[in-house]
């Protein structure tokens, strides 16, 4: 119907970014999809299963990721970060820093040989540091693009530790990957590049990070080995995770018999984050069900203040967890966790508000449903944030995916805590708006004044 | 079972006025109870009485003894995710309950009136007392300090005794009202002696635990000083009545100064900290600023200060000044005895005693450590 | 199948993903010896450019006409390899993939067994490949028009976005006005009402020449297929034309009055009425269902705006896609449920919205049951979350936030009112939690239950009895008014819509989307999209976003002007088909219909609706129904091959 016109920049390659990019591509718009990681997929790639359907997250995500590769008008800029955005709707100039991967991605076939032979082990961020990866690595098995990247900070060749550098006396250290790469794709001479793009519109889909539970020392996260965050537990339960899907404790590799989830850690709390993180009640329910599936006789208890089972299929899922799987729900906020030094079991102190007195319970493993926070995007983006640090919307009713800057749209958790279907919906909505600008279509402004007439 | 009863909106308004401003911030998560060292040792929760207060269920609020079990450690304040200040809410509940235990209505006036009004009444009583003394005092001996000539022991005992008797009747009648309310309908579960042991063990354990924490340690010491000071003072009074010649005994002399010193430290230190408005003063002094908190300190401070000056001037041998200070001292003692002790914050020792006793006998106190 | 098959087999190492478990070289050798296999190769990454080039060159050099790729799951790279075939001049459906990764190397540890299995899988794929036939992807031009059903905020938003893009939009609304339910919501945030938003959207629609609004209209038939639907719209008579000046004289004379659904039952209206102040079109309308044609209004009207001879009209429009945004119905408590209908002081949340609306029946004054209540109890989860035997089994999502917002509104204007919110869980998710905080500051009281409360209506007044779970006590609250926070239920007329559009609904009664997580605005049937509360309870902002999202998906579908469909659809052999119609009932997509051909009544599959599920093939008793690309002969060949045959 219309010819391709100006491109659109999508910042963040999680499920929202992917959906926006696919919609734009299908609408005939050119898309630059930027992500700071070597692969798209975002948080959803780290999940094992999704609620309430218990779909395998990767199984429903990877086809979408594969679609991204197929569209010729989606250009991926991986390992890249937006440095500067100037201009206005229809005409933004963006400076994007493309970090070097030290691997020629045109040649790399993603075979993984380099990674096998690399001598340097590094904590694996994708697995939340529960296991290690190599300095040259592919982010995860289903990565898209499936290409290797060198972590320069930990590479012996690119960043040799001073003592080894001395000994080498000027000769380059290591070079194993370069030697064994069958495609001869390793290139240690790569340097960071700054790419300038001129785009019509920008969609921000930068997603979430977890609030640092170390800021709430009563829970002992970081001190007690068997206290996990919900994302770490998700990796434990994933077949592609650090334990191949076996739920085992950090302290002694034993299978836990009693697991507890603590809700609202850092959420709904005026001392930390006022807002509700929206999906952790359902995530905990899901994880409890998965735990039951992995360990049939495990006892699972969820400590909550309100069970937020508000979405489609949520209440049914919650009932199923209780009735079919025997997940226990206790209304009472856990205030502190103590560790038994011998067994490394955890003792939770809480008031069971349904009987009105304080109880202590021992668990083998505790999962904290930690608050989510949006990834930092301001600066470089010239956007306004709301009181909770999320990107502020111009008008949630009349312009629901627009930020305070015309032409910059936001979708997903960057604008407020929400779950996957809402993020996908917003991404499509943002794509629609961005596509209209990209095609040069003028959209009349909609304003609604507050009620003035009659008796207020 | 008859449904718990009726919501009274006045209850809510009154509690909020008495300092329960955070009352409705509470969303009943139970964090406060779980953090509380005292609540951990109980089979009940103070979160519940906060809920009763929110809903305005007066008879449940009145029959709840848990607010009196609070030892004001303040851990709940830090644990509350809504910044509802449960400690202050419980203090407001204690004020509310005191008002309602008291049948005279004076407690109500005392708790609702402003600091100025309370001080005006107190000083008016002081002035009246001082006037009476200046008109009816005994002969003034200027060679040495003869306090017992200035005001004969018998008059002192007569007046003091009658005042104390009246106060005692008021106190005990209010205490009995409280007892009836909190007693509950069931038979006691725990025997008398067992409960005494339980309470002592419980109290000592929680306070020793609290002593380990620096910011609580100071307050516990201050509170202990007041207890020691007042206790010693009562001891001294009894000795003075039974053995008037023992006044100049060295031990008694030392005890006298210790009593005064302890009292002055115990009320003076918090008073000074409360007057400071800077943020690096401990939260406790910034939070508990109800007018009754002030008078509880101010009146005792004036009594202790005047008492201290009195014994100093007596020991220095300055009769005229001593007699004047004696007059002022007695002037301050009167409002303290007649207003603060039966109707102000100082009643808490009695109500706390009853609450702990009843709680233990009703089986609300855990025997063993919560594992 | 005339020509002899010349098969090329390509085994992928997938780096070490396959090769570390399966002995690829062995499989390559094995494949070489299979009948009809001309060339057999392996490569470390078949989907990479060099791998693809290998296949392309072989096709040209060896004149291959069937390709087998043994690699990862087809859902990863089948389109990739199909594109290779196309580039090399072969029909892209002459490709068969064997999944030796997800089905083999990734799930087995024993190398010998895995290699044997890989050989089996390759042999099976070769067996099928021999019987593959070239298939043509049908391509259709699409209509650049879109039908949007439902003139609420979701439908209006979708219409606006689509019209901006350049589509013609037919916006069909059953009631006499645009605006939907949101127009009736009193306050959606502190300074704005639902009608403020609705008016702004209506203005946009009225000014957009591409949006054709049909109010008082219904969709009665939808035929055709994605890209080329024909929609039959019935336009019911309005009986009032644009000469109407909104003077209201007619209404005063009208003898018929009915319950006013625009006040959610709080009052009555006449048969000739205007739904609300900002209604669009801005004219009165006669409710054709209750009008007795007495003619009083005609006599009263001085402007000649009334025409009682107005007739229903039917029109057919051709559209490329349909967006269903028909919304919800509020749950209506039955007589006696929580005392509803037994006392004037017991109302629903929606009725409260009308009361608080400055343009509502009480001009924004909080008058319930004839007086200003000093105490109000809100009972939550009425009709939701299985609280009572007749309640729905889902959470209605928006009621907690709505209730708290209204409670705060009441406290702002009437600070001395006692408000009790009797709840099961407070669902103020995301930033709405701040509203819950605000409620605390406003001295709003919360009572938590597990067992639903009971209401007693008697001479002493209204009481709510509830067992408070955190107090472990029964509480009895005297109140002046009770607001039942009812949820959302599917529209009463949804079954009709489902019949006409052939969408499906879930166990909750709302329309089911294609995929709950990743395709929330699409129906499983191609070309039909969903927005707003029609898929389940949503609040206004979420419905609006879904309207935009649906528009995006429609644009993605129709923007190229043509669509192609995968030809792996079912076909019926007219010579074998006996016309038994078993397949028609089995098809979940409504793709099969009966047709006359050569005097016989046979089944016909509409290619564009068929999703290739194979249900009809399995159900067909005569074997007439076959699926292209998955014919019985092809599958039997694979079965035989799996057991060791070739």
Measured between alpha carbons, how far is residue C57 from residues C51, C87, C134, C204 in Å?
10, 11, 20, 57
Selected residue with higher pLDDT from C203 and B10: C203
Interface of B with C in 191-250 (CB under 8 A): none
| Rounded average pLDDT over A346-358 | 94
Which token pair is C196?
């403020």
Q: How far is C574 from chain A (nearest CA, A)?
A: 37
Interface of C with A in 196-255 (CB under 8 A): 196-197, 199-201, 203-204, 207
For chain A, say whether B48 makes contact (Cβ under 8 Å): yes
Considering only CB atoms, which chain A residues are within 8 Å of C520?
A: 421-422, 424-425
Query: How many residues belong to chain A?
Result: 456
Name the residue in chain C with its Cα closest to that of A23: C556
The answer, yes or no, to whether residue A39 has pLDDT greater than 60, is yes
Closest partner residue to A112 (CB to CB) among C15, C207, C559 is C15
Specify the pairing of strand A74-77 against strand C37-43: unpaired
Maximum Cα–Cα distance for chain C, whole Å?
A: 97
Name the residue in chain B with its Cα closest to that of C422: B55
CA C12/CA C23 separation, integer angstroms: 11
- Whether C552 and A141 lie within 8 Å, measured CB to CB: no
DSSP state at residue C390:
T
Q: How far is C487 from chain B (nearest CA, A)?
A: 24
What pLDDT was estimated at residue B243? 77
Q: Which long-range contacts (CB under 8 A, 24 or more apart) does B142-148 make?
A: B142/B319, B142/B320, B143/B319, B144/B317, B144/B319, B145/B313, B145/B314, B145/B317, B145/B318, B145/B319, B145/B322, B145/B323, B146/B319, B147/B314, B147/B322, B147/B323, B147/B326, B148/B244
Question: What is the sign of the dihedral through the CA atoms of B133, B135, B139 and B140?
Answer: positive
- Whether B29 and A333 lie within 8 Å, measured CB to CB: yes
Name the residue in chain C with its Cα closest to that of A317: C394
Considering only CB atoms, which chain B residues are within 8 Å of A352?
A: 30
CB neighbours (10 Å) of residue A71? 15
Which token pair is B259?
């009593």
The answer, yes or no, to whether residue A3 has pLDDT greater than 70, is no
Closest partner residue to A310 (CB to CB) among C79, C80, C395 is C395
Q: Which of A177-186, A195-204, B144-153 has the lowest mean pLDDT?
A: B144-153
For residue C10, the SS3 value is strand
What pLDDT was estimated at residue C610? 85
Interface of B with A in 66-105 (CB under 8 A): 79, 81-83
CA B216/CA C625 separation, integer angstroms: 84
DSSP state at residue B252:
H
pLDDT bin (cut points 50, 70, 90) of residue B359 is very high
Touching B (3+ Cβ pairs <8 A), the chains are A, C
CA A237/CA A291 separation, integer angstroms: 8
What pLDDT was estimated at residue B6? 65
pLDDT bin (cut points 50, 70, 90) of residue B5 is low
Q: Residues C235, C312: contact at Cβ < 8 Å?
A: yes
CA B84/CA B51 separation, integer angstroms: 13
What pLDDT was estimated at residue A454? 37
pLDDT bin (cut points 50, 70, 90) of residue A427 is very high
Measured between alpha carbons, how far is residue A287 from residues A283, A365, B245 in Å?
6, 13, 80
The answer, yes or no, to whether residue A455 has pLDDT greater than 50, is no
- Whether B28 and C448 lie within 8 Å, measured CB to CB: yes
CA C476/CA C456 separation, integer angstroms: 10
- Whether A443 and C472 lie within 8 Å, measured CB to CB: no
Question: Angle, nearest 10°, between helix axes B214-242 and B291-316?
Answer: 50
CA B185/CA A303 separation, integer angstroms: 34
Residue by residue, DSSP assigns A334-403 as EEEEEE-TTT--EEEEEEETTTTEEEEEEESEEEEEEPEEEPP-TTTS---B-TTSSBPEEETTTEEEEE
Q: Which of B2-6, B116-120, B193-197 has the lowest mean pLDDT?
A: B2-6
Specify the pairing of strand A55-56 against strand C268-270: unpaired
For residue B354, the SS3 value is helix
Query: How many residues belong to chain C?
Result: 646
Q: Domains of chain C (ranges plus CATH)?
A: 7-129 (3.40.50), 145-236+313-327+492-562 (3.50.50.60), 237-311 (3.30.70.20), 329-489 (3.50.50.60), 570-628 (3.30.70.20)
- Whether B370 and A360 lie within 8 Å, measured CB to CB: yes
pLDDT tens for each residue of B254-309: 888 899 999 999 999 888 888 876 666 677 776 777 889 899 889 999 999 998 99
Closest partner residue to B31 (CB to CB) among A270, A333, A360 is A333
Compute the CA torsion angle C530, C531, C534, C535 (nearest 10 deg): 70
| Rounded average pLDDT over A262-272 | 95
Of all residues in chain A, the percent with pLDDT exceeding 70 is 97
For chain A, say whether B47 makes contact (Cβ under 8 Å): yes
Q: Identify the segments of chain C with pLDDT beneath 50.
A: 1
Nearest C-alpha neighbor of C419 from the set C446, C438, C381, C437: C446
Interface of C with A in 561-580 (CB under 8 A): 561
CA C67/CA C95 separation, integer angstroms: 5
Considering only CB atoms, which chain B residues are within 8 Å of C445?
A: 24, 54-56
The answer, yes or no, to whether residue A194 has pLDDT greater than 50, is yes
Q: Residues B100, B62: contact at Cβ < 8 Å?
A: yes
Name the residue in chain A with its Cα closest to that of C546: A425
CA B170/CA A155 separation, integer angstroms: 83
Q: Which of A357, A362, A369 to probe by mutation at the B interface, max B CB count within 10 Å?
A: A357
- Whether A443 and C561 lie within 8 Å, measured CB to CB: no
Q: Which of B27, B33, B86 to probe by mutation at the C interface, max C CB count within 10 Å?
A: B27
Considering only CB atoms, which chain A residues are within 8 Å of B28?
A: 353
Closest partner residue to A358 (CB to CB) among B28, B34, B83 is B34
Q: How far is C11 from chain A (nearest CA, A)?
A: 15
What pLDDT was estimated at residue B2? 58
CA C300/CA C308 separation, integer angstroms: 13
Q: Residues C47, C15: contact at Cβ < 8 Å?
A: no
What pLDDT was estimated at residue A1? 40
Nearest C-alpha neighbor of B188 from the set B364, B58, B368, B326: B364
Q: In what order do the strands lie in the sheet with C228-235?
A: C217-225, C228-235, C313-319
- Whether C475 and B3 lie within 8 Å, measured CB to CB: yes
Q: Which of C12, C13, C14, C15 to probe by mutation at the A interface, max A CB count within 10 Å?
A: C15
The answer, yes or no, to whether residue A2 has pLDDT greater than 60, is no
For residue A96, the SS3 value is strand
- Whether C446 and B48 lie within 8 Å, measured CB to CB: no
- Whether A351 and B81 lie within 8 Å, measured CB to CB: no
CA C209/CA B367 separation, integer angstroms: 81
Q: Give the count of Cβ contacts less than 8 A between chain A and C.
A: 249
pLDDT bin (cut points 50, 70, 90) of residue B141 is confident
Q: Which of A324-333, B205-214, B342-351, C314-323 has the lowest mean pLDDT?
A: B205-214
Chain centroid to Cα C397, Å, comes to: 17
- Whether C468 and B51 lie within 8 Å, measured CB to CB: yes
DSSP state at residue B63:
T
CA B205/CA B37 separation, integer angstroms: 10
Name the residue in chain A with its Cα closest to that of B79: A335
CA A88/CA C126 separation, integer angstroms: 57
What pLDDT was estimated at residue B176? 94
Closest partner residue to C440 (CB to CB) among B1, B4, B27 is B27
Considering only CB atoms, which chain B residues are within 8 Å of A269?
A: 81-82
- Whether B44 and A334 lie within 8 Å, measured CB to CB: no
Place of tokens 């949101």: C182
What pLDDT was estimated at residue B279? 63
What pLDDT was estimated at residue B213? 83
Specify the pairing of strand A299-304 against strand A258-265: parallel
With residue B331 as reference, give the H or E element that holds it.
helix B319-335
Measured in degrees and rounded to the nearest 5, phi and psi for residue C453 equal -70, 165
Place of tokens 């005939």: A28
The answer, yes or no, to whether residue A451 has pLDDT greater than 70, is no
Query: How many residues belong to chain B?
Result: 371
Residue by residue, DSSP assigns C181-216 as TGGG-S-SSSS--HHHHHHHHHHHHHT-TTEEEE-S
Name the residue in chain B with its Cα closest to that of A360: B371
Mean pLDDT (chain A) is: 91
Which token pair is C51?
């791998």
Considering only CB atoms, which chain B residues are within 8 Å of C474?
A: 1, 3-4
């Amino acid at each position: 119907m219309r010819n391709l016109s100006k491109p659109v920049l999508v910042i963040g390659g999680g499920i929202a970014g992917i959906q926006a990019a696919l919609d734009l591509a299908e609408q005939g718009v050119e898309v630059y999809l930027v992500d700071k990681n070597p692969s798209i997929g975002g948080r959803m790639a780290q999940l094992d299963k999704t609620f309430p359907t218990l779909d395998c997250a990767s199984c429903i995500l990877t086809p979408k990721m594969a679609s991204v590769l197929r569209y010729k008008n989606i250009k991926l800029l991986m390992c890249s970060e937006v440095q500067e955005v100037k201009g206005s709707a229809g005409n933004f100039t963006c400076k994007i820093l493309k970090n070097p991967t030290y691997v020629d991605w045109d040649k790399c076939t993603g075979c993984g040989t380099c990674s096998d032979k690399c001598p340097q082990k590094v904590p694996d961020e994708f697995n939340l540091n529960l296991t290690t990866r190599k300095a040259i690595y592919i982010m995860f098995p289903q990565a898209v693009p499936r290409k290797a990247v060198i972590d320069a900070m930990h590479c012996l060749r690119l960043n040799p530790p001073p003592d080894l550098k001395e000994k080498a006396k000027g000769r380059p250290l290591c070079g194993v990957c370069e030697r064994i790469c069958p495609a001869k794709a390793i290139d240690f001479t790569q340097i960071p590049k700054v790419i300038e793009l001129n785009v019509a519109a920008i969609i921000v889909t930068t997603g979430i990070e977890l609030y640092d539970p170390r800021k709430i020392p009563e829970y002992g996260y970081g001190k007690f080995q068997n206290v996990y965050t919900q994302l770490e537990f998700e990796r434990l339960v994933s077949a592609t995770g650090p334990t191949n899907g076996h739920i085992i404790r950090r302290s002694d590799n034993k299978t836990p018999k009693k697991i507890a989830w603590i809700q609202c850690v850092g959420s709904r709390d005026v001392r930390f984050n006022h807002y509700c993180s929206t999906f952790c009640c359902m995530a905990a329910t899901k994880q409890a069900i998965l735990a039951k599936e992995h360990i049939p006789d495990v006892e699972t208890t969820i400590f909550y203040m309100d069970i937020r089972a508000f979405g489609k299929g949520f209440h049914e899922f919650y009932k199923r967890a209780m009735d079919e799987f025997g997940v226990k729900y206790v209304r009472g906020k856990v205030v502190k966790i103590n560790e038994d030094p011998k067994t490394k079991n955890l003792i939770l102190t809480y008031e069971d508000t349904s009987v009105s007195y304080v109880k202590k319970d021992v668990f083998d493993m505790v999962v904290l449903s930690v608050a989510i926070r949006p990834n930092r995007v301001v600066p470089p983006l010239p956007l306004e944030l709301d009181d909770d640090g999320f990107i502020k919307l111009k008008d949630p009713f009349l312009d629901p995916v627009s930020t305070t800057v015309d032409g910059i749209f936001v979708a997903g958790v960057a604008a407020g805590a929400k779950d996957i279907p809402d993020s996908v919906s917003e991404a499509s909505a943002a794509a629609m708006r961005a596509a209209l600008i990209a095609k040069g279509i003028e959209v009349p402004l909609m304003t609604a004044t507050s009620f003035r007439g009659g008796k207020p | 079972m008859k449904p718990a009863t009726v919501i009274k909106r006045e209850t809510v308004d009154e509690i909020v006025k008495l300092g329960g401003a955070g009352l409705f911030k509470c969303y009943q998560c139970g964090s406060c109870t779980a953090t509380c060292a005292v609540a951990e040792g109980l089979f009940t929760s103070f979160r519940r009485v906060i809920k009763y207060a929110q809903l305005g269920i007066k008879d449940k609020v009145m029959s709840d003894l848990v607010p009196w079990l609070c030892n004001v450690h303040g851990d709940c304040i830090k644990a509350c995710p809504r910044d509802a200040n449960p400690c202050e809410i419980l203090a407001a509940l204690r004020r509310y309950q005191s008002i309602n235990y008291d049948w005279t209505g004076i407690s109500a006036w005392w708790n609702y009136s402003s600091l100025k009004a309370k001080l005006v009444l107190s000083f008016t009583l002081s002035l009246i007392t001082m006037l009476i003394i200046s008109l009816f005092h005994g002969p003034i001996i200027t060679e040495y300090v003869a306090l017992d000539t200035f005001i004969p022991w018998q008059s002192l005992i007569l007046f003091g005794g009658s005042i104390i008797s009246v106060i005692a009747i008021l106190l005990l009648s209010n205490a009995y009202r409280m007892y009836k309310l909190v007693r509950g309908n069931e038979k006691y579960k725990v025997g008398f002696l067992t409960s005494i042991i339980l309470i002592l063990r419980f109290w000592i354990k929680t306070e020793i635990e609290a002593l380990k924490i620096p910011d609580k340690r100071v307050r516990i010491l201050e509170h202990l000083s007041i207890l020691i000071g007042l206790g010693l003072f009562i001891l001294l009074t009894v000795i003075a009545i039974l053995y008037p010649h023992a006044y100049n005994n060295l031990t008694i002399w030392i005890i006298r100064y210790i009593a005064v010193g302890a009292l002055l430290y115990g009320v003076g230190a918090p008073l000074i900290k409360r007057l400071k408005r800077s943020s690096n003063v401990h939260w406790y002094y910034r939070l508990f600023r109800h007018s009754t908190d002030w008078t509880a300190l101010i009146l005792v401070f004036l009594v202790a200060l005047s008492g201290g000056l009195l014994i100093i001037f007596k020991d220095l041998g300055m009769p005229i000044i001593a007699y004047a200070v004696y007059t002022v001292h007695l002037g301050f003692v009167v409002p303290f005895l007649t207003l603060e002790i039966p109707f102000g914050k100082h009643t808490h020792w009695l109500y706390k005693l009853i609450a702990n006793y009843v709680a233990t006998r009703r089986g609300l106190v855990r025997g063993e450590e919560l594992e | 199948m005339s020509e002899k098959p010349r098969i090329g087999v390509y085994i992928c190492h997938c780096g070490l993903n396959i090769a570390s478990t399966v002995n690829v070289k062995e499989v390559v050798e094995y494949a070489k010896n299979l009948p009809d296999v001309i060339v057999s190769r392996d490569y470390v990454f078949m989907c990479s450019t060099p791998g693809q080039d290998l296949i392309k060159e072989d096709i040209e050099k060896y004149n291959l006409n069937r390709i087998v790729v043994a690699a990862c799951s087809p859902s990863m790279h089948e389109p990739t390899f199909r594109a290779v075939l196309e580039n090399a001049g072969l029909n892209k459906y002459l490709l068969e993939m064997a999944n030796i990764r997800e089905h083999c190397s990734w799930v087995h540890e024993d190398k010998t067994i895995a290699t044997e299995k890989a050989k089996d899988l390759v042999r099976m794929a070769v067996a099928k490949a021999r019987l593959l036939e070239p298939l043509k992807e049908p391509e259709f031009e699409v209509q650049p028009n879109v039908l949007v059903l439902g003139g609420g905020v979701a439908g209006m938003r979708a219409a606006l976005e689509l019209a901006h893009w350049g589509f013609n939009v037919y916006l069909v609304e059953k009631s006499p006005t645009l605006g939907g339910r949101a127009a009736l919501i009193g306050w959606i945030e502190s300074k704005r009402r639902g009608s403020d938003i609705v008016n702004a959207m209506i203005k946009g629609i009225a000014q957009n020449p591409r949006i054709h609004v049909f109010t008082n209209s219904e969709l009665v038939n939808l035929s055709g297929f994605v890209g080329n639907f024909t929609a039959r719209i019935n336009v019911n008579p309005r009986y009032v034309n644009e000469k109407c000046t909104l003077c209201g004289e007619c209404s005063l004379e009208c003898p018929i009055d009915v319950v006013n659904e625009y006040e959610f039952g709080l009052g009555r209206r006449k048969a000739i009425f205007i739904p609300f102040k900002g209604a669009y079109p801005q004219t009165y309308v006669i409710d054709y269902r209750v009008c007795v044609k007495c003619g009083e209004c005609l006599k009263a009207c001085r402007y000649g705006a009334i025409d009682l001879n107005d007739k229903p009209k039917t029109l057919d429009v051709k559209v490329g896609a349909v967006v269903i945004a028909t919304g919800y119905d509020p749950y209506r408590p039955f007589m006696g449920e929580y005392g509803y209908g037994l006392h004037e002081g017991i109302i629903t949340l929606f009725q409260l919205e009308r009361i608080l609306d400055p343009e509502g029946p009480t001009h924004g004054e909080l008058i319930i049951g004839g007086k200003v209540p000093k105490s109000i109890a809100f009972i939550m989860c009425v009709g939701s979350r299985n609280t009572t035997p007749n309640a729905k089994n889902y959470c209605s999502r928006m009621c907690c936030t709505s209730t708290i917002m209204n409670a705060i509104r009441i406290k702002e204007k009437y600070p001395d009112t006692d408000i009790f919110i009797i709840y099961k869980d407070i669902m103020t998710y995301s930033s709405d939690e701040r509203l819950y905080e605000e409620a605390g500051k406003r001295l709003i009281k919360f009572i938590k239950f597990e067992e639903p409360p009971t209401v007693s209506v008697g001479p002493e007044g209204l009481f709510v009895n509830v067992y408070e779970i955190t107090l472990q006590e029964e509480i009895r609250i005297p109140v002046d008014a009770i607001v039942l926070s009812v949820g959302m239920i599917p529209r009463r007329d949804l079954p009709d819509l489902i019949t006409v559009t052939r969408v499906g609904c879930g166990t909750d009664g709302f329309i089911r989307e294609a995929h709950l997580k990743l395709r929330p605005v699409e129906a499983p049937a191609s070309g039909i999209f969903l927005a707003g509360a029609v898929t389940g309870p949503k609040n206004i902002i979420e419905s609006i976003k879904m309207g935009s999202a649906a528009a995006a998906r429609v644009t993605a579908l129709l923007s190229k002007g043509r669509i192609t469909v995968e030809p792996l659809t079912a076909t019926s052999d007219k010579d074998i088909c006996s016309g038994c119609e078993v397949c028609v009932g089995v098809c979940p997509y409504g793709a099969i219909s009966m047709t006359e051909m050569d005097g016989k009544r046979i089944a016909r599959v509409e290619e564009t609706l068929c999703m290739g599920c194979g249900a009809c093939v399995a159900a067909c008793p005569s074997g007439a129904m076959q699926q292209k690309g998955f014919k019985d002969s092809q599958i039997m060949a694979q079965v035989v091959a799996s057991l060791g045959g070739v």
